[in-house]
Amino acid sequence: MSADLKEAYGNYLIPKEILQLIQLEENLNKEDLSLSMIGCIPATELSPYSITPPDLIPFAETGGDGIHFGFLTDFHKVGDVMEAAIVCISPTNAPPVRYLANNFYEFISLVCSVPHVELLEQLATISNKEQEKAILEEYMSELPSSWKIKQEKVFSALKGIYPEGKKVDIIATISAAKEKRMEKIVIETFDGLGVVGETGGKRYEFLESRISDSKELLRMHQFLQEATLEEKQAFIRDIQYWYIVDPDYNYEIWSLVQDVIRTFNK
């Protein structure tokens, strides 16, 4: 088990289901197969993008365009990651965040309902069954028969360790998950994830110019001094969506975000 993997989960226990996924990849490799063939590669190293929520624990990636999936811990409000919602991050798309499933096993059912997991990123943004059909048919029409056979073997192996992985109505499942999430949100945020908690609150009003000069940073600090826990968490979600939070791009914003996150653990 890599140090990166332990660091990613922090105080959480790494679920046996994730260890099984990693072991499955190793077993498939011995047969010249890989979970990459279906776009569900186990994430074993820490490599978050600036848009990756700080309370997301990545567990899989598609292998294309930085798209990855993770457990949303809601800033450690979730006691067990296996009960955490599953979110897809697509760094090169706008919007880059897609809420997919209520939990890991619901996500696995979605995985088993598409020929390639990367398609979920696109399917999560539509509500029309005809569009869904067209997307799936287009992918399958361009797939060589030899590759289809390999994918079937990988899916069969995946279902062998996750028998809960049954085909579901993709659009209905994702829509239901989003509706359930909305029932828990006390403060909405730009990324659509919102903040769950006991009480609502107000959101910080960011400037359209996205400026981060000393005057704006002072205004942020003043807001945070009076903010509740939920308001601070909403601030983190919004600022990460509004700015590129990276020490090499905007050190002041990055530093402010780190300072606020540290207060969550006190």
Query: Each residue of 202-239: pLDDT tens digit?
Result: 999 999 999 999 999 999 999 999 999 999 999 999 99
Of 180, 214, 242, which closes a domain?
180
Domain count, the chain: 2
- Answer for the pair 117, 61: CB distance below 8 angstroms, yes or no: no
Same domain, 29 and 104: yes
Percentage of the chain surpassing pLDDT 70? 99
Q: Which position has the token pair 């983190």? A: 236
**Which one, of 203, 265, 208, lies nearest residue 234 by Cα?**
203
Same domain, 154 and 58: yes
| Gap between the Cα atoms of 205 and 242, Å rounded | 11
Same domain, 81 and 166: yes
**Which one, of 163, 162, 63, lies nearest residue 116 by Cα?**
63
Q: CA 149 from chain center: how many Å? A: 29
Helix and strand numbers (H, E) in the chain are 10, 7
Of 124, 154, 180, which closes a domain?
180
- Answer for the pair 264, 197: CB distance below 8 angstroms, yes or no: no
pLDDT tier at 48 (50, 70, 90 boundaries)? Answer: confident
Q: Is the pLDDT confidence value at 2 over 80? A: no
Beta bridge partners of 99: 87
Domain containing residue 162 = 3-180
- Here the tokens at position 204 are 């910080």
Same domain, 14 and 138: yes
Domain contains 190: no
Same domain, 96 and 158: yes
Helices marked H in the chain: 3-9, 16-29, 104-111, 119-123, 129-141, 145-161, 170-184, 214-226, 229-242, 251-264
Same domain, 148 and 224: no
Same domain, 253 and 161: no
Q: Is the pLDDT confidence value at 179 over 80? A: yes
Domain contains 39: yes
Same domain, 90 and 145: yes
pLDDT tier at 266 (50, 70, 90 boundaries)? Answer: low
Domain contains 95: yes
pLDDT at 5: 87
pLDDT at 164: 85
Same domain, 88 and 13: yes
Domain contains 64: yes
For the segment 150-173, the average pLDDT, to the nearest whole number, is 95
**Which one, of 163, 133, 148, 53, lies nearest residue 98 by Cα?**
53
Domain contains 189: no
pLDDT at 47: 80
pLDDT at 1: 60
Same domain, 73 and 153: yes
